[in-house]
Structure 1
Amino acid sequence: MSTLSLEDVTVLHVDDEPGFTDLVKNFLERADSALSIQEAANVDDALSILLSEDIDCIVSDYDMPGKDGLDFLELVRDEHPNLPFILFTGRGSEQIASEAISAGVTEYLQKEGGTDQYKVPANRIRNSVQGVRAEAAVHRTEQRYHNLVDTAPIPIVLFNQDGRAVYSNEAAVAFLDADSHAEIEGKSFAGFLHPEDRDTARARFERLMAEGQSMPEREFRVQTFDGECICARVATAHGYYHEEEVAQAMVYR
């Protein structure tokens, strides 16, 4: 799915008991109107559906003939490492739960009596799918950011909360006369500045991280890797990179 909307969630339910799959379909769709349930009677049929359909979440039984739920989970994880997978089984044990967790199961639920039990898997499906879509949205945002910043004509370097560089664009590599991005990343922001400018830069950095607000341009003497000292205006903005708070430094000559 391409958005965070949960108006349409396609769930693949795998169980070898036809009467139970119909029951699960009815109660899950009743518990959450966003859910649309597809059914498969065995792992092979389920794998075929995964090849041809856009599935948001899998709910699978454990005890099935041929390949069981753990076999299915391992096959799914080979091709779909982030697809939510809920093992919904009546044959539970600590060993099965441990193996499922090791194989990367999203949730492990045991079947119980009564119709109220379907509220739990319906809620877990919704939460799991929402989490995956949120991560995908963050990834797309970061990708767009990289596409924009990588090609920006001004040098840009991101510093983490420890004040160390975690990202630099091509313009920054050229401006700082670095051999590569790797030479910049990990270096403290103070190391890019003339010693007499470091206390001022440190105070600006601490204020930016504490208040989460951009700082106006200020002239600094920037030191390149070849030892040149360049007078430049530096603006800093608060932001996030890989879900971590960063200070974005933009250099203008």
Structure 2
Amino acid sequence: MVSLTVDEVTVLHVDDEPGFAEMVAEFLEREDDAFSVQTTARVTEALNALGETEVDCIVSDYDMPDRDGLEFLEVVRDDYPDLPFILFTGRGSEEIASRAISAGVTEYLQKDGGTEQYAILANRIRNTVRTSRAETAVSRTEDRYHNLVDTAPIPIVLFDEDRRALYANDRAVEFLNADAEADVVGRTMESFLHPDDRARAGDRFERLMREATSLPEREFRVRALDGEIKRAKVATAPGHYRGERVAQAMVYR
């Protein structure tokens, strides 16, 4: 028996064959003690369960009396676009698989007669839930980062490894005499500097990206979008934004 995490993983299994659903629940909970499996026989019951219980993963059959598994998936995706959904069906075909992928299924697994299928299903659940939780954690981290940077009292611009602006907060947009963030994003670092300061700034950028080390503030002549030159102190620090390394430029006047 294995365990995915210290947290419980709640699985909603939808199958209109009660005996089979109970057997799957028993095997899954035996396979991983983190699993807690709730079973329903109809899609309407499953939708009610989703409204009442926090579910980490759905496992659904295809052939069911009120709605089939793909119709269920489409409804789930409307309200829970990122919830792991595994279509676990005995009716396999290229058409169903294709429609499932188009509808946003997370995994597609065909039933067979052996007990090995339960170990495979458990592994698919573990992997999809682990990935979902990791993506959620990244999203929450980025949300916190945005909240922090968006409300910072100083101009902040993020540059990618090609020295192009990826993001600018409201203070940076104002400082650069831009109308909107879109006017800043995509421009090169050098375009925001006086020509005589570009080589020095480039050396600092290369050092920051090479050593992943924050660099103290230094005075630069910053060139706004309308050509105005503003003297300011700029500190730089390494960071990550949407999965890629960035240089954070923070302006102090």
TM over 0.5: yes
Alignment of 1:230 onto 2:217: no
Secondary structure, counterpart of 1:185 in structure 2: coil
Alignment of 1:151 onto 2:145: no
User: Which residue does 1:182 correspond to in 2?
Assistant: 182
Secondary structure, counterpart of 1:179 in structure 2: coil
Q: Please give the alpha-carbon distance, in whole angstroms, between the structure 1 residues aligned to 2:17 and 2:183.
A: 60
User: Which residue does 2:37 correspond to in 1?
Assistant: 37
| 8 Å Cα contact 2:220/2:232 also seen in 1 | yes
| 8 Å Cα contact 2:156/2:171 also seen in 1 | yes
Alignment of 1:50 onto 2:50: yes
User: Which residue does 1:133 correspond to in 2?
Assistant: 133
User: Which residue does 1:106 correspond to in 2?
Assistant: 106
Alignment of 1:214 onto 2:214: yes
Q: Please give the alpha-carbon distance, in whole angstroms, between the structure 1 residues aligned to 2:183 and 2:237.
A: 23
Q: Please give the alpha-carbon distance, in whole angstroms, between the structure 1 residues aligned to 2:13 and 2:61.
A: 8
Q: How does the TM-score come out when normalised to structure 2?
A: 0.93
Secondary structure, counterpart of 1:248 in structure 2: strand
User: Which residue does 1:63 correspond to in 2?
Assistant: 63
Secondary structure, counterpart of 2:38 in structure 1: strand
Q: Which amino acid aligns with 1:111?
A: K
Q: How does the TM-score come out when normalised to structure 1?
A: 0.93
Q: Which amino acid aligns with 2:62?
A: Y
User: Which residue does 1:23 correspond to in 2?
Assistant: 23
Cα drift, residue 6 of structure 1: 5.2
Cα drift, residue 132 of structure 1: 1.3
Gaps of 5+ in 1: none
Cα drift, residue 101 of structure 1: 0.8
Secondary structure, counterpart of 1:118 in structure 2: helix
Q: Please give the alpha-carbon distance, in whole angstroms, between the structure 1 residues aligned to 2:228 and 2:166.
A: 23
Cα drift, residue 46 of structure 1: 0.9
Gaps of 5+ in 2: none
Q: Which segment is superposed worse, 240-249 or 13-22?
A: 240-249
Q: Please give the alpha-carbon distance, in whole angstroms, between the structure 1 residues aligned to 2:75 and 2:231.
A: 58
Cα drift, residue 5 of structure 1: 4.9
Alignment of 1:119 onto 2:139: no
User: Which residue does 2:78 correspond to in 1?
Assistant: 78
Q: Please give the alpha-carbon distance, in whole angstroms, between the structure 1 residues aligned to 2:200 and 2:146.
A: 29
* Matched-pair identity in %: 66
Q: Which amino acid aligns with 1:191?
A: S
Q: Which amino acid aligns with 2:239?
A: G
Q: Which segment is superposed worse, 19-28 or 215-224?
A: 215-224
Secondary structure, counterpart of 1:87 in structure 2: strand
Q: Which segment is superposed worse, 205-214 or 146-155?
A: 205-214
